[in-house]
Structure 1
Amino acid sequence: MKVVTGPGEYVRKTNVLKEIGLYVKEYGQTVLVIGGQTALSVAEPKIMKSLEKNQLPLLGSIPFSGECSWREINRLIEIVQEIKPDVLIGVGGGKVLDTVKAVAFAAKLPLIAVPTIAATCAAATPISILYDDEGIFIEISRKSKAPNVVLVDMEIIQSAPYRFLVAGIGDTLAKWFESRASVQKVQPNARNQSAVRLAHGIYQLLLEQGEAAINASKQGIVTSALEDVVDSIILVSGSVSGYGGDDCRTAAAHAIYSGLTIFPEVHHTYHGEIVAYGILAQLSLEDKPKEEITNLISFYQKVELPYLLEQLGIKTLSPAQWKQLGEVSVTIEDMANMPFEVTPSMVINAIQHVEEIGKLVNIQ
């Protein structure tokens, strides 16, 4: 049995990046930073100052192209092989970090992850979600490295647009609904049952503190609610996957997310926002009571998560597009984690059912 539970070390506090040099020293002397342009603009000054203070050479700062694709991963691998740093630092959101995790895996280098938004658990997982160059999902790659260290600077997190935190809540909610479904296919054991209980605990915390965390983010202040929600999104959520392994994987919510990415209209929407919509469709697939769906929509309204296709940018779908959505969604490997076989027509019916419920909620 082999279990990769997450990062070797997780540190969350205000201005922790002023200490990043101390963490780098544990793994090497020379550094290469890879990050999104916006992320670098807010985090790099702190990183540079700490590296200089600790006399650690920065060999370069490479901007991320914007898509976690094999083309981008291979481009960065070539740069790393040429520059030969001792340590990689990844700075940014989920796609950046997933890319750098894949690069670190290929290059066999230590990795320090610096999430600048709390939108996914990418910083704390050993997998990478890959897309083609146009942003359409293609695979979940295990050729990825769990970071040695994750540094969460709350000054940066709280100053990011609050919509990122909203998306993180959506993505993290899925841990409970998807692990509850996928674990039904396997023999219960200590790991997967602990993972499911952990997922349910995160779900309850988000229901209780999610709105307060969003309000703190809007006000630009750090509160205990915001800290708890950030830890849940980045660290604890990733631990569910770590302990549960293949028994507690993503399921229909993420499969439907991936199916929806075939439509360019959703590409302005964040991962967790689309996943949140996928949760509703999964509940419909599972034939859960309407009350469970409407209760979740009520929470979505409080934290500004989407519950209608039009909120994702999709105004209408032609019969051919509905068919394509159903067919693509069932081919995604996540869908195989459902405890029953799912057909394209079931996906279509589930989404249309959610649309009916969501529109009724809007009227009331």
Structure 2
Amino acid sequence: MLTVPGPGKYVREEGLLHEIGSYTRAFGNGALMIGGKTALSVAEPAISASLQKEGLENKGFIWYGGECSWSKVEELRAVVQERKPEVLVAVGGGKAIDTVKAVAFAENLPLIAVPTIAATCAPATSIAIMYDDEGTFIEISHRSKAPNVVLADTKIISAAPYRFLVAGIGDTLAKWFESSASVRKSQPTALNQSAVRLAEGLYQLLLEKGPAAIETIKQGKVDQAVNDVIDSIILISGSVSGYGGDDCRTAAAHAIYSGLTIFPEVHDTYHGEIVAFGILSQLVLEGKSEETIRELIAYYQKVELPYTLEHMAIKELTPEQWDRLGVVTVGIEDMANMPFAVTPEMVVNAIQGADRIGKEVKQS
């Protein structure tokens, strides 16, 4: 049995970025920072000052390339081999951090993750979600390194647009719905049963604290509700995957997310927002009652998650596009985690059913 439950260390504090040098020193004397353009512009002054304070070599700040793709990973490996850092620092959101996790794995280097938003559990997992250079999902890769340290600076996270936290809530809600479905295919073990119970606890916590956290972070403030939601999205959510492993992986909600990425118009909708709609579709696929789905939509309305296709800029699909969506979605490996066989027609009916219920709620 092999499991990678999460990062070696997780620290969450306001202003934490000013102390990154002391954490970096434990792994080497030269650090190369790779991340998103906005994230690097925000984080660079504090990181540079902290490295200088600790007498560490700053190997530079590099944009990760815009997509978590294998071609970008190879480009970054060439930079790493040229600059020869002893430590990599991943700065930004999920795609940026996943990209650097793949680079760290390939180059066998220590990794510090600095999430500047709380939108996914990417900083706390050992897998990387890979796309092609145009942003279409291609695979879940295990050629990825779990960070040695995650440094979550709530000052930076709270200053980001609140929609990122909304997306993080959507992605984290899926842990409960997907793990409780995927685990049904597996023999019960201490690890997978603990993971499912943890996922259910996450779900209940987000129902309780999510709306208040969104209202607080809209004001650029941080309180215990915000801290709890950040920890839930980044660390605890990642731990569900870590403990549950392949028994508690993503299922239909993420498969539908991946299928929807074939349409360019959804690329302005964040990962967790699309996953949230995928949850509604999965519930239809599982034959859950409309009342259950409407109750979840009522929560979505409180935290501003999308619950119709139009919310994700998809206004109308041709029969050919629907057919392609169904075929692509059932081919996503996440769908194989469902406890029953799923056909393209079932996927199309589920997505259309979720969209219909969402439209009815919106019009009521």
When the two structures are superposed, what TM-score results if normalisation uses the length of structure 1? 0.99
Q: Distance in 1 between matches of 2:35 and 2:353?
A: 40
Alignment of 1:208-219 (within 5 A): 208-219=208-219
SS of equivalent to 1:357: helix
1:286 corresponding residue in structure 2: 286
Question: How many residues are treated as equivalent by the alignment?
Answer: 364
Q: How far is the alpha carbon of 1:322 from its aligned partner?
A: 0.4
1:51 corresponding residue in structure 2: 51
Q: Deviations over 1:198-221 (max 9, x none)?
A: 000000000000000100110110
Q: Distance in 2 between matches of 1:249 and 1:355?
A: 25
The one-letter amino acid of 1:11's match is: V
The one-letter amino acid of 1:244's match is: G
Q: Distance in 2 between matches of 1:223 and 1:289?
A: 36
Q: Distance in 2 between matches of 1:127 and 1:164?
A: 21
Q: How far is the alpha carbon of 1:65 from its aligned partner?
A: 1.3
2:315 corresponding residue in structure 1: 315
1:61 corresponding residue in structure 2: 61
The one-letter amino acid of 1:18's match is: H
SS of equivalent to 1:250: coil
1:356 corresponding residue in structure 2: 356
Q: Deviations over 1:260-309 (max 9, x none)?
A: 00000000110000000000000000001111100000000000000000
SS of equivalent to 1:6: coil
Q: Distance in 2 between matches of 1:46 and 1:186?
A: 46
Q: Distance in 1 between matches of 2:363 and 2:14?
A: 43
Asked if residue 192 in structure 1 is aligned to residue 176 in structure 2, the reply is no
1:19 corresponding residue in structure 2: 19
Alignment of 1:163-174 (within 5 A): 163-174=163-174
The one-letter amino acid of 2:175's match is: K
Asked if residue 124 in structure 1 is aligned to residue 128 in structure 2, the reply is no
CA-atom RMSD in angstroms: 0.5
1:3 corresponding residue in structure 2: 3
Q: How far is the alpha carbon of 1:20 from its aligned partner?
A: 0.6
Q: Deviations over 1:33-65 (max 9, x none)?
A: 101110011111111111000000101211121
2:246 corresponding residue in structure 1: 246
The one-letter amino acid of 2:251's match is: A
The one-letter amino acid of 1:320's match is: E
Q: How far is the alpha carbon of 1:66 from its aligned partner?
A: 0.7
1:97 corresponding residue in structure 2: 97
1:37 corresponding residue in structure 2: 37
Q: How far is the alpha carbon of 1:350 from its aligned partner?
A: 0.6
When the two structures are superposed, what TM-score results if normalisation uses the length of structure 2? 0.99
Q: How far is the alpha carbon of 1:68 from its aligned partner?
A: 0.4
1:257 corresponding residue in structure 2: 257
1:84 corresponding residue in structure 2: 84
Alignment of 1:226-245 (within 5 A): 226-245=226-245
Q: Distance in 1 between matches of 2:113 and 2:146?
A: 9
Q: How far is the alpha carbon of 1:356 from its aligned partner?
A: 1.4
Deviating 4+ runs (over 6 angstroms):
none
1:144 corresponding residue in structure 2: 144
Q: Deviations over 1:224-269 (max 9, x none)?
A: 0000000000000000000000000000000000000000000011
2:182 corresponding residue in structure 1: 182
Q: Deviations over 1:298-337 (max 9, x none)?
A: 0000000000000000000000000000000000000000
Asked if residue 332 in structure 1 is aligned to residue 332 in structure 2, the reply is yes
| Unpaired runs of at least 5, structure 1 | none
Q: How far is the alpha carbon of 1:134 from its aligned partner?
A: 0.5
Percent of aligned pairs with the same amino acid = 69
SS of equivalent to 1:61: strand
Q: Distance in 2 between matches of 1:356 and 1:139?
A: 30
The one-letter amino acid of 2:45's match is: P
